[in-house]
Amino acid sequence: MTSRALTAALVTGMLVTGVANTLLTKYQDMQCVRNCDAANPEDRHVFEQPVLQTLQMFVGEMGCWVIVGILSLRNLWRNRNRERDGYQPVGPSDDETDSDGNPILKALVPREDGRILISGWKVFLLAIPAICDIAGTTLMNVGLLFVAASIYQMTRGALVLFVGLFSVIFLKRVLHPFQWFALFVVVIGVGVVGMAGAMFKDPAPDDHIKAQGKEMMGLSPALSTIIGVCLIAFAQVFTATQFVVEEWILEQYALEPLKVVGWEGVFGFLVTLIGMVILHFTVGVTPEGQNGYFDAVEGFSEMFYNPKVLYSSFAIMVSIGGFNFFGISVTRSISATARSIIDTCRTLFIWLVSLALHWESFKWLQIVGFGLLVYGTFLFNELVQPPLRCCLGRKAQEDDDEARRELLPEVPVQRNS
C-alpha cells in the first residue's frame, strides 16, 4: 500500500510538471518565427509544428534513461564498496537452480504481488501506449493552436469519461452509480467551458496572439474554438486507451516507472520520426508553395534558429519527462482513472496563470465549468456526499445488501462430534 506522503508527492509532482508543460507548449506556439518585423502583426508567422512538438515530447521521455543509468551506476558503486568491505548478500544468487539443476530465470519468477519482470519481446507491448500517445498528443497540439491554454486543459477533462468507460470494459473495473454521475458532470463542465470560449471572444492585446490568430485559416474565432475543442476531445480517446493499456501492463508485469516512460519514449520517438519523414514528403509543403504543419525542414529550422523556441523545447522535454514519470507512478500506485482525475485538476492552475499573463480574459461562464469539474472530481473520489443517496450512493447499495442478509433465515452449523 502506497503511503499518503508518497501519494501526495506523486500527485504534486504530476500537477507541477503538467501545468508547466501545457503553459510552455502554448508559449512556444506564440513565438514569432517568420516576418517578425512586419508592421501588421497579422502578417507575422508563429511557430506551428504539432508533430515536432510530439517528437520533442518523446525525446523528453527518453531522457528518463539518463536517470536510470545514473541510478544503476550508483548501485554498482555501492555494491562494489560493500564487497570490498566483506559484505555478502543474503538470499538467492543470480545462478540459483531448481531441484533438477536447471537455472531459474528470475524474470519468470512471480514477485510478491504476483507480477513478473517484463523481458524479451514483451517489452514491445509498451509500443502500444506509445502509438496512442503519438495520436493523442499530435491532435491535442493541433487543437492547442486554435484555443487558449485553459480551454485546452479543460477540454481534456473529457479524458475522465473515456478512462472510466475503458476501465469498466477492458479492465473489468466496477464503478458505482455516483461515480458514473460524477464522470458525466465532468463532461458537462467541459462542454460549458467550450461554449464559453465560443461565445466570448478574447481581446488580443499581444502581438504574438494576433499573429497566431491570423494563421488559423481565416476562420472566425467561434468556429476556431469549436474545431479546437473537438480535436482535443477526440484526442482523449487515444489518451484514455494509453492510460488503460499502461495500467494493464503494470498489473501484469513488473517494471520501474522510469523504464516504462523510457521505453515508451524510444518507441514513440522512432514511430514519430518515421511519420515526420513521410508527412514531410507528402503534405509538408502546400500546393501554393507555402510551409505547412508537417514541413519538417522548416520546423527544425525555426526551432534551432529561434532561441525562445529552442529554450522552450528543452523546458518542454524536461517537464514532459517528469509529468509522464509521475503519471505512470500514479497509475501504478492508484489507478488510471485517478490519474485522469488528477490531470483534470491542472485546469485551475493553468487558467490562473493564463489570466495573470493576459493570454485570455476572465469569463464568468468558465467559472461555472470549473465548478462542475471540481464537483465531479470531488464526487468521484467520495470527498463530497452524492445527491440522491438512495439512487446514486454506494452506501445505499451496502444498506440494501445488509438488509437482505438480515432477512435470510439463520442456518445452523452442523459440527462433527
Taken in order 294, 297, 298, 303, the sign of the CA dihedral is positive
Domain map of the chain by residue range? 4-39+48-67+128-169+200-364
Tell me which residue of 363, 358, 370 sits closest to 196, measured CA to CA.
363
- What three-state secondary structure class fits 285? strand
pLDDT, residue 351, reads 79
State the residue for C-alpha cell 519514449: 265
SS3 content of the chain, % helix, strand, coil (to 5): 70, 5, 25
Give the CA dihedral 51, 53, 57, 59, nearest 10 degrees: 80
Taken in order 216, 218, 224, 230, the sign of the CA dihedral is negative
Beta-carbon contacts of 250 under 8 Å, excluding residues fewer than 6 positions away, are: 260, 328, 331, 332
pLDDT, residue 279, reads 86
Q: What is the DSSP string of 348-397?
A: HHHHHHHHHTTSS---HHHHHHHHHHHHHHHHHTTSSPPSSHHHH-HHHH
Tell me which residue of 385, 51, 340, 46 sits closest to 208, measured CA to CA.
46
Contact criterion met (CB below 8 Å) for 371 and 193? no
pLDDT, residue 391, reads 59
State the residue for C-alpha cell 478512462: 163
Q: Is the pTM of this model over 0.85?
A: no
pLDDT, residue 408, reads 44
Nearest-angstrom CA–CA distance, 130 and 272: 10
pLDDT, residue 109, reads 43
Please give the chain's pLDDT, 417 residues, in tens: 457 788 788 888 888 998 999 899 989 988 988 888 877 777 778 888 888 989 998 999 898 898 888 888 988 888 887 767 665 555 444 444 444 444 444 444 444 456 777 777 888 999 999 999 999 988 998 888 888 777 887 777 777 778 888 888 887 888 888 888 888 887 788 778 767 766 765 554 444 444 454 445 556 777 888 888 889 989 999 999 998 898 888 888 888 878 888 899 999 999 999 999 988 888 776 665 566 677 888 889 999 989 999 999 999 999 988 888 888 788 777 776 677 667 766 777 887 888 888 877 777 887 888 788 778 877 876 767 777 765 565 554 555 445 444 444 444 444 343
pLDDT, residue 411, reads 40
- What three-state secondary structure class fits 246? helix
Contact criterion met (CB below 8 Å) for 183 and 380? yes
